[in-house]
Chains A and B, each alone.
Chain A
Amino acid sequence: MSLITPLLEAHKLAGGKLVDFSGWQLPVHYGSQIDEHRAVRDGAGMFDVSHMTIVDLVGESTQDWLRTLLSNDVAKLQHGQALYSCMCNETGGVIDDLIAYCLGDNRYRLIVNAATREKDLAWMKEHLPDDVELTTPANTALIAVQGPNAFEKAGSALKIVRGVGLEPGSIKRFHAQYDNEWFIGRTGYTGEDGVEIALPAGQAKALWDALLAAGVKPCGLGARDTLRLEAGMCLYGLDLDEAHSPIESGIGWSVDLRDETRQFIGRETLAEQMQFGGRYVRLGLQLDGRGVLRNGQTVQLVGKDIGTITSGTFSPTRQQSIAFARVNKSFHGHCDVMIRGKPMVAHAVPIPFVHKGVAKAEELST
């Protein structure tokens, strides 16, 4: 079975090369993944992310429940504010990573991964209290507009389609604005400014076309991957999984232990790892020579295996291959990565690899 988004025809019209992604037909690129990547770093690009699962939660104990379900603490959210969190199992392994938006008292919206939809919903329902209602809105499209000019261009497109645009500064970073079926979050997965817009499926094509007319470049899953990697963001299934904790995957900052009375699932393991460290750490690597680091390659330090690459790519911004490595000890300086049986020299670099479109000078000079 192949799932399609309300924008399938728009992708075909734009020359999108469609691939299967977790059962969905989605464009991997529309010609050149690197051009799309650059459009987001330099101007504005848009992604159809309608495949992602929206979970709406409402009911008296929603906040209390989410505080037990998620490793980050939703109690710190004001209305309209969002946070990134993992949903962990009892041993601190990551079931999924997600964005949680607080829409009001005991009213939340989660956006979770498409590939993990069924197990996420099963896990949530297994732990769901009677007074919390869980729904997954159907007939909704989700369009991410990303890049330094994204907010302004999204505003002009929204003005055409809805009659209401976006006032400059009207939505702060990691906040959302919403009414009825329209939801605009100033969030994203590229390391750039931008918005993620949930809207009725029937209006998706109109917004897409208005964004096109505003000069926003359609971007595929390929660019989405290189952008998120440069920005230091994890991809579930590669960099995150149930066998490793958020701390071992380099996102320990999303685990909030401050409220000692908050008994969330996985807390025991995570608290212990926070104090004593986990079995692994995540390091950023950059390859010194030519070639591309990829998932599954072995990382060696003086001839000894110390871990593997969880995701790697060619960074269009840095013009070198970059990767996340899951290794059993941190190190500075050089290591080897086995590419097609040969050790290739790489070196540790700080994550994110690219910040606001710029590869940091001190990293490039190493």
Chain B
Amino acid sequence: METPGDLRFAASHEWVRLEDDGNITVGISHHAQEQLGDLVFVETPEIDRVCEAEEGIAVLESVKAASDIYAPLGGKVIDANPELADNPELINSDPYGDGWIFRIKPDDSDAIESLMSPDDYEAYAESSD
């Protein structure tokens, strides 16, 4: 699967897209969904929750394992993907699109620069496989 070039990646395998309105959308990488296997349940964060960078705010349950999803940047949760409640498999089938998990209004959107580029992430994911 092609990794979209406009994304940034956290070491814990979340992707981040900086939207035009300054908010960020977060999901998990293709590599991460492949590792987890078929997803069956997603616990998304509550709207308005304030979180710090690297704080666990969502949980993915696959048939195989449960996995925490961390906020890549600090800020306030402004949206969570309502489709995932009934269709958690969207994360498997379209991790960078319909399988997005939550949106955050970041305290400091410049902090996204500290995350990995798609190329760096791909090398990182391969080495951690």
Contacts and interface: CB of A to CB of B under 8 A. Distances in A.
Interface string B54-93: 0000010101111000000000000000000100000010
A85 to B, nearest CB: 30
Nearest to A314: B40
Given A290-B41, A291-B41, A292-B40, A313 B63 contact: yes
Nearest to B64: A222
A17 B31 CA distance: 12
Contacts of B61: 291-292, 314
A315 B82 CA distance: 23
B59 A340 contact: yes
Interface string A220-254: 00100010000000000000000000000000000
A275 to B, nearest CB: 40
A352 to B, nearest CB: 18
Contact of A33 (B43, B59, B64, B85): B64
Interface string A292-304: 1010000000000
A201 interface: no
Interface of B is mostly: mixed
B37 A292 contact: no
Nearest to B93: A32
Contacts of B52: none
Interface in A18-53: 28-29, 32-34
A291 to B, nearest CB: 6
Given A291-B61, A292-B61, A314 B41 contact: yes
A292 B66 contact: yes
A340 B60 CA distance: 12
B66 A28 contact: no
A32 B38 contact: yes
B83 to A, nearest CB: 14
Interface string B39-50: 011010000000
Contacts of A226: 63
19 contacts: A17-B34, A28-B64, A29-B38, A32-B38, A32-B92, A33-B37, A33-B63, A34-B38, A34-B63, A222-B64, A226-B63, A290-B85, A291-B43, A292-B66, A294-B65, A294-B66, A313-B63, A314-B61, A340-B66
